[in-house]
Chains A and B, each alone.
Chain A
């Protein structure tokens, strides 16, 4: 069965400091991994994805994530946090393969709070 764990309910960081939001996953076969962000009273917005290739993927708004197969992790990072990055972040995983009709499993979300 597929699962995603985001071990931190909330991450607090000062503006200008680097941030990391953690994600670990469990899936049979090759994983397709995604990060989404949700601002208050809004839908989810896609940030970045890993399908194959380079383990370091870059996405929107200066975010990046590193796929680590041995640790089954896909942590989200940004070198310098902005107050406007404060939001709810979701990691998601899908099992790869041609039979994949799109069942995307989400983590429970991590609230990122960036203080000025």
Chain B
């Protein structure tokens, strides 16, 4: 148990569906992240939220839409995905202080997404 919970753990969706991934952290952190993990590729940082404000968007296609309603929750809304979007989506959180980010990230277990 890392204090970061992701739901659902597994999701299968068609290319025309709309679904959402949810992440919740119980650690009192103020920064949250979405990473994509595909087979044989390094982890890709998708989005960073600091104090509920998006501070990083790594050229992610608009079919992925993040939402951070408060410091404990992070969503990734999915629509009209492609089969190549099938991957493990990892949420993480950390504490961001006055000196920047020196602490480690705490990851959830991931949401395994399959796009048919």
Contacts and interface: CB of A to CB of B under 8 A. Distances in A.
Contacts, number: 71
Interface in B5-41: 6, 31, 33, 40-41
Interface string B49-72: 010000110000000000000000
For the side of the interface on B, what is the size category? 20 to 34
B31 A102 contact: yes
A98 B102 contact: no
Contact of B56 (A4, A44, A99, A101): A101
A51 B56 CA distance: 23
A25 interface: no
B100 A107 contact: no
Given A44-B107, A46-B106, A103-B45, A98 B99 contact: yes
B43 A90 contact: yes
Interface of A: 4, 32, 34, 36, 41-46, 49, 51, 90, 94, 96-109
Interface of B: 2, 4, 6, 31, 33, 40-43, 45, 48, 50, 55-56, 90, 92, 94, 96, 98-102, 104-110, 112
